[in-house]
Amino acid sequence: MRILLAEDDDRIARDVGAALGAAGYVVEREADGEEVWYRGDTGEYAAVVLDLGLPTMDGLSILKRWRTAGRTFPVLVLTARGTWNERVEGIDAGADDYLPKPFRIEELLARVRALLRRAAGQASAVLRVGPVALDTRQMQVTVNDVAVNLSPQEFRLLSYLMHHAGRVVSQLELTEHLYAQDVERESNAIEVLVGRVRRKLGVDIIATRRGFGYMACEPGA
């Protein structure tokens, strides 16, 4: 899943970006407020981690403009101040969650996971489709309680489909959320990846909708 990380503190951006990447997300980092607004206004993201103290355009203004324009992706706001009135203002502007600095990376990751679950209508940290269970905290997949070894890219694909179980996801949407923009890939990369995941799972929970895309669903549905 693609996440926009908007943070002008290089150390924080580096640490948070590395942690999100290790957790299986495709991360785009940006420090300039105007560029952050533009990316969020024109790109597709599963979530945004947004620092309020950005140069050229502050985070609160960016958030208000996104919401006014109808951008609905979940936003986790970061701030060095964290006063109660600032938190209220941020939530009223459309923030989905709020994390004051300094923070623990583990808490940020947990909040991002929760935002993504809520956005997809999922209540539990363990996603289930048929006999397949995907633990978003431990990054583990089991089939009938037996562990399945997936590569990071295979895990990302399955995670995205299971977060959106019951909905057809196009190849373009999968490409946008699985690969960084500057990564070269074959035109059939998604098809090949889906085939590998199906073989490793051994159960048919990924249905093909010809001409539309793929959908995670109960076997035989």
Closest-CA residue to 87 (of 73, 75, 100): 100
Look at 89 and 194; give whichever has higher pLDDT.
194
Q: How far apart are CA 197 and CA 214, in angstroms?
A: 12
Q: How far apart are CA 41 and CA 61, in angstroms?
A: 13
Average pLDDT of the chain, as a whole number: 91
pLDDT in tens, 109-142: 999 999 999 888 887 889 999 999 999 989 999 9
pLDDT level of residue 35 (50, 70, 90 thresholds): very high
Tell me how crowded residue 175 is: count the other CB atoms within 10 A of its CB. 14
Share of the chain above pLDDT 90, in %: 74
CB 36 within 8 A of CB 8: no
Length of the chain: 221
Report the sign of the C-alpha dihedral through residues 61, 179, 214, 140, in that order: negative
pLDDT in tens, 138-179: 999 999 999 999 999 999 999 999 999 999 999 999 998 888
Q: How far apart are CA 173 and CA 167, in angstroms?
A: 12
Q: How far apart are CA 170 and CA 64, in angstroms?
A: 29
Share of the chain above pLDDT 70, in %: 96
Q: How far apart are CA 151 and CA 197, in angstroms?
A: 9
CB neighbour list of residue 60: distance below 8 Å, 6 or more residues apart: 52, 89, 90, 93
Between helix 84-93 and helix 59-68 the angle, nearest 10°, is 30
Q: 88 is written with which tokens? A: 């209220």
What domains, with CATH codes, occur in the chain? 2-119 (3.40.50.2300), 126-216 (1.10.10.10)
| Least confident span in 74-83, 107-116, 153-162, 187-196 | 74-83
